[in-house]
Chains A and B, each alone.
Chain A
């Protein structure tokens, strides 16, 4: 070790992507989160991709147990967590072998040398130690004895060996913080807040963090430090936000905007549970969180809450939405306002619980018995979850209908800087309930207004006593009715009401020119990759535009006109072509799909490649 602090080169970068990976017990999610928050505080734009296994603790050192967290941070506006990784931290051989493919050639590779012993290597399938056999020559490899150095750093604090080793992630963090010229203060504040009650643990983590940082500063082998200056974001106060948190906060805001108490009926399910956790923390916002006995109860309790007159919401993922299907039909036929969010994950069945996918679009559009139309809107990024939650409630009360919101594991767990809204920015959502009727006047629960919306009469109001139910009802009076023509009429009315929402949503906008050779049509969490790819193509002079849909049912009014102005329409989706099918059916338009189901978001490169392929020959 050098005795004096050597002066090191600092290289300025526009952006960089770092991935921490290790065993699921190694604290990689924590390391990634801290790095993200610190980068955001520095003013970088950030996008993250946490990737963890379905098992809480798979056998130690195995490939099945590898957990990763990727952070893309930049001086420019960015929309994705990055295709390839500039610096990879691998805490063990299994993490290295499963993540190395994403490290770019010439990238920095930091490995925990102490984990590269016989057993660990064998578990990862390495016959020889890759840190010694020269097979990693194309990377800037730094093999650091992190376990040993961490133990030394925390010596004397009275920790067991096991506890000492738990501080390793802070050592790794410290080292990467140095590498990218990030301050330690936010993490030190975090340590204080999190471990304040166990001072020896707080001290140990602090010591490990600093040891990692000083190691980078001191050891001559790591020659270059990188600096990514702040991004030029729109003026305002920013914070980092995770999609599920943003959604929960959007619900809180919508409840206040409509002067309603908020009821969330939910059953724990990955990756939606964090919405329940977040709202359970905020009871003082007049929030009722109801952890039901199952998904069906979560949905039906939500219907009960909607009937009661509160803001009723349920949150789940595909398998849970399947169970809610019958009750969603009841929500549709009773025409009560509520929100159902589906944080999509890989399916079918249990599928890939912790991985992302967009394969529930058919489910939410068509997965119920009978003619059962429901508005569907989708969030495009972690921060957008906030706005979508508010918009869903606006539509629900305005049209007296359950509204389906689609999110996905990628945006639900991913994070980005979020411009903190002022209360004045949050739209007011007026809610009206009919008042008491005096004797003699008859209440008509299914009398409709100009939007075909019916009154939301709530129990406790004298004179409005009425019965709702799953049986078909007589138009206007709402009493049970089996008349064939009435049923036909009611099916059409319910469909017409939902279709009429088109008059209440903004026209579709384009990112790029109004006409061109190719339109990239996307929805949901693929926004970032598609936007970035289209920006690149535009910079290269290609005639491409990006159309990203928030409203999937109904589609915006001008969507057909937009399609007519482009030669080709490319629809990248993390499914086998569900939006494509809907667009083909509704607009009799051929679309070109780009489809993948690997539990991972699209990389920008994948979209760019497809754009290039489709435009070959058109750019003369």
Chain B
């Protein structure tokens, strides 16, 4: 059959596989799956050129539900599997689906190195602050004091903050969204897909069975305007139900200020997602609800830096240009040889 026909217009349903989705009813993963299926057709990319790679955990079942190429690999290793795939086939769009346990605990090493190489992958980390598939142990993002099956007296593990980690690795694209904020989530996934280089997206995702309500403060209709802050490039950091609060820099520290009363918008911190230095984005990633800050959502950082998968293939082109296409016979006969007659 010819594949040179114009690209078919795909619908969300075209991305649904024939498998029954087996997450618990009410799980935040459903929403992420729905937004992904809704967003992908907007990319105009043929389905067969998209690959989803995951590790182990509830989130990692994701590839089974997508009618694309996919691999449900082993615990923590999805970024490495995806790196081998993308390096070999830069023409493919590769997504990594991971969770807080899979990506930050057992797979922390791969995540760090994939990000620093700026491999052109889209990594979506479903953060529910608990181990769900193994039925409720504390995870690397569980808060201190969290009582779980494996921490009956409260967790004493200082939690990791995924975006701080990604920015520490100088990720070229870092964003955060929330499972229930579907419009924002869809737009964030689209931004991640469009970015060239590693896109790292943290999604606040609710595990309604083992850690229900972990993100309520950021989702609750009543409180979310005060507890989250939607980042917009070039705009001042303003939040609050009445849009009357902002973030100002006091030396190197952010502080919450009330607008009016002598403080104007121009006094606030302006968001610059394209700043080459990741420091400001890092500072935003450190803003925590428990410390009295709104937690930023949206794109923290989006910069254009060289990508491993491109450079590794460029080296092959350069070597081929310089030395010609590899010639086995010439190689075998290189150096000292002798003839026996």
Is there contact, CB below 8 Å, between A288 and B49? no
Contact with A along B62-91 (1 / 0, CB 8 A): 011011111111100100111111111101
For the complex, is B3 an interface residue (Cβ under 8 Å from A)?
A: yes
Q: Which of B182-190, B238-246, B312-320 contacts A (4 or more CB under 8 A)?
A: B312-320
Is B48 located at the chain interface by the 8 A CB criterion? yes
For the complex, give the distance between the alpha carbons of A265 and B341 in Å.
41
Task: Decide: A233 near B72, CB < 8 A? Known: A282-B326, A297-B113.
Answer: no
Contact A238 B48 (CB under 8 A): no
**Does B64 contact A467, Cβ atoms closer than 8 Å?**
yes
Interface residue? B322 (CB, 8 A)? yes
The complex places the Cα of A240 from the Cα of B47 at a distance, in Å, of 50
CB pair B312 A288 closer than 8 Å: yes
Known: A304-B82, A308-B84, A309-B89. A471 touches B72 (CB 8 A): yes
- Output the least CB separation between A487 and chain B (Å): 17
Interface size on A, residues (CB 8 A): 75
Is B262 an interface residue when CB atoms closer than 8 A count as contact?
no
Interface residues of A in 196-221 (CB under 8 A from B): none
In the complex, what's the smallest C-beta–C-beta distance from A469 to chain B, in angstroms? 3
B322 engages A460 (CB within 8 Å): no
B109 interface contact, C-beta 8 A: yes
Inter-chain contacts of B91 with A (CB < 8 A): 460
CA distance A207 to B91 in the complex (A): 56
Q: Within the assembled complex, what's the spacing in Å between the Cα atoms of A421 and B19?
A: 51
Chain B, Cβ-Cβ closest to A255: B326
CA–CA, A460 and B3, complex, Å: 11
Residues of A551-584 contacting chain B, CB below 8 A: none
Shortest Cβ gap from A168 to chain B (Å): 24
Chain B, 87-134, CB within 8 A of any chain A CB = 87-89, 91-92, 109-110, 112-113
Task: State whether A303 and B83 are in contact (beta carbons under 8 Å apart), knowing that A436-B1, A465-B67 are contacts in the complex.
Answer: no
**A308, B92: Cβ atoms closer than 8 Å:** yes
Contact B336 A469 (CB under 8 A): no
Q: Are B48 and A463 in contact (CB under 8 A)?
A: yes
Q: CB of A175 within 8 A of chain B? A: no
Contacts A249-B331, A297-B77 given: A465-B339 contact, CB under 8 Å? no
Contact A301 B340 (CB under 8 A): no
In the complex, whether A413 has a CB less than 8 A from a CB of chain B is no
Select B336's contact among A186, A309, A462, beta carbons within 8 Å: A186
Residue of B nearest to A298 (CB): B80
How far, in Å, is B141 (CB) from chain A's closest CB?
A: 22
Q: Contact flags (1/0) for A456-478 with B, using CB distance below 8 Å? A: 00011111111111110000000
Are the C-beta atoms of B336 and A239 separated by less than 8 Å?
Answer: yes
Check if B41 is an interface residue, CB within 8 A of chain A: no
- Chain A residues near B85: list those with CB within 8 A: 304-305, 307-308, 459
Q: Determine the distance from Cα of A42 to Cα of B329 in the docked complex, in whole angstroms.
A: 22
**Quick check: B80 and A252 within 8 Å, CB to CB?**
no
Can you name the residue of chain A whose Cβ is closest to the Cβ of B70? A467
A234 on interface, CB distance cutoff 8 Å: yes
Residues from chain B with a CB closer than 8 A to the CB of A186 are 336
Q: Does B221 contact A (CB under 8 A)?
A: no
B254 interface residue per 8 A CB criterion: no
Question: Do the beta carbons of B331 and A282 come within 8 Å of each other?
Answer: yes
Of A80-88, A99-107, A326-334, which stretch is located at the interface? A326-334
CA distance A234 to B339 in the complex (A): 10
Tell yes or no: A292 within 8 A of B by CB: yes
Whole-angstrom CA separation of A37 from B335 in the bound complex: 10
B33 close to A (CB within 8 Å):
no
Closest CB of chain B to A458's CB: distance in Å? Answer: 8
List, in ascending order, chain B residues with CB within 8 A of A462's CB.
1, 3, 46-48
Alpha-carbon distance A436/B91, docked complex (angstroms): 17
Determine the chain B residues whose CB is within 8 A of the CB of A41 once the complex forms: 336, 338
Measured between beta carbons, the chain B residues less than 8 angstroms from A236 are 339-340
- Contact between B88 and A305, CB atoms less than 8 A apart: yes
Measured CB to CB, the nearest residue on chain A to B93 is: A459
Please tell me if A508 contacts chain B, counting CB pairs below 8 Å: no
Shortest distance from the beta carbon of B59 to any chain A beta carbon, whole Å: 14
Contact A438/B1 with A186-B336, A236-B340, A467-B71 known, Cβ cut-off 8 Å: yes
For B1, B49, B323, which residue has the most chain A Cβ atoms within 10 angstroms?
B1
A350 within 8 Å of B by Cβ? no
Q: Is A286 an interface residue (CB 8 A)?
A: yes
By a CB distance below 8 angstroms, the chain A residues around B1 are 436, 438, 462
Contact A423 B81 (CB under 8 A): no
Q: Which residue of B69, B110, B320, B339 is within 8 Å of A237 (Cβ)?
A: B339
Residues of A within 8 Å of B335, CB to CB, are 239
B80 touches A296 (CB 8 A): yes
Contacts of A438 in B (CB 8 A): 1
* A123 is an interface residue with CB less than 8 A from chain B: no
Chain A residues in 8 Å Cβ range of B336:
37, 40-41, 186, 189, 239-240
What B residues does A42 contact at CB under 8 A? 338
B55 to chain A, nearest CB (A): 10
A133 vs B315: C-alpha distance in the bound complex, in angstroms?
61
Contact A420 B87 (CB under 8 A): no
A465 to B15 alpha-carbon distance, docked (Å):
10
Given contacts A300-B73, A300-B81, A471-B72, contact A286 B339 (CB under 8 A): no
B338 CB contact (under 8 Å) in A40, A263, A287, A310: A40
Q: Say yes or no: A469-B337 contact (C-beta < 8 A), given A305-B87, A436-B3.
A: no
Say whether, besides A236-B340, A463-B48, A300 and B84 are in contact (CB < 8 Å): yes
Which chain A residues lie closer than 8 Å to B73 at the CB level?
300, 303, 330, 469-470
A420 touches B71 (CB 8 A): no
Asked if residues B326 and A301 are in contact (CB atoms below 8 Å), the reply is no
Q: Is the CB of A422 within 8 A of B329?
A: yes
* Residue interface bits A223-236, CB-to-B below 8 A is 1, else 0: 00000001011111
> Contact between A304 and B64 (Cβ–Cβ < 8 Å)?
no
A304 lies within 8 A of B3 (CB): no
Q: Does B17 interact with chain A (Cβ within 8 Å)?
A: yes
Determine whether the beta carbon of A284 is less than 8 Å from that of B339. no
Q: Are A263 and B331 in contact (CB under 8 A)?
A: no
**B44 interface residue per 8 A CB criterion:** no
Q: Which residues of B contact A108 (CB under 8 A)?
A: none
**CB–CB B337/A265 < 8 A:** no
* Nearest-Cβ distance from residue A46 to partner chain B, whole angstroms: 12
Complex: chain A residue closest to B72, CB-CB: A469
Interface contact A292-B80, CB-CB below 8 Å: yes
Query: Which residues of A have CB within 8 Å of B81?
Result: 300-301, 303-304, 307
Contacts of A43 in B (CB 8 A): 338, 340
Contact partners of B328 in chain A: CB under 8 A: 249, 252-253, 256, 285, 423, 426
Q: Evaluate contact between B87 and A296: CB separation under 8 angstroms.
A: no
Q: Is A302 an interface residue (CB 8 A)?
A: yes
* Chain A residues whose CB sits within 8 angstroms of the CB of B320 once the complex forms: 283-284, 286
Q: Say if the beta carbon of A132 comes within 8 Å of chain B.
A: no
- Check B260 for interface membership: any CB of A closer than 8 A: no
Interface flag for A21 (CB, 8 Å)? no
* A293 beta carbon closer than 8 Å to chain B: yes
Q: A460 to B67, alpha carbons, bound, how many Å?
A: 13
* A152 CB–B CB distance under 8 Å: no
Contacts of B83 in A (CB 8 A): 290, 292, 297, 301, 304
Complex: A253 Cα to B92 Cα, angstroms? 27
Residues of chain A contacted by B193 (CB below 8 angstroms) = none
Contacts A284-B325, A423-B328, A468-B72 known; list 10 others, CB within 8 Å: A37-B336, A41-B336, A284-B324, A459-B51, A459-B89, A462-B3, A465-B68, A468-B70, A469-B71, A470-B73
For the complex of A and B, 8 pairs with smallest distance between CB atoms = A304-B84, A285-B326, A301-B84, A469-B72, A304-B85, A297-B80, A283-B319, A293-B113
Residues of A bordering B, CB below 8 Å: 37, 40-43, 186, 189, 230, 232-240, 249, 252-253, 256, 261, 263, 265, 282-288, 290, 292-294, 296-297, 300-305, 307-310, 312, 326-327, 329-330, 334, 420-423, 426, 436, 438, 459-471, 479-480
What are 18 of the A-B contact pairs (CB < 8 Å)? A237-B338, A238-B338, A238-B339, A286-B316, A287-B326, A288-B313, A293-B80, A302-B84, A303-B73, A304-B83, A304-B84, A312-B84, A460-B48, A462-B48, A466-B70, A469-B72, A479-B19, A480-B19
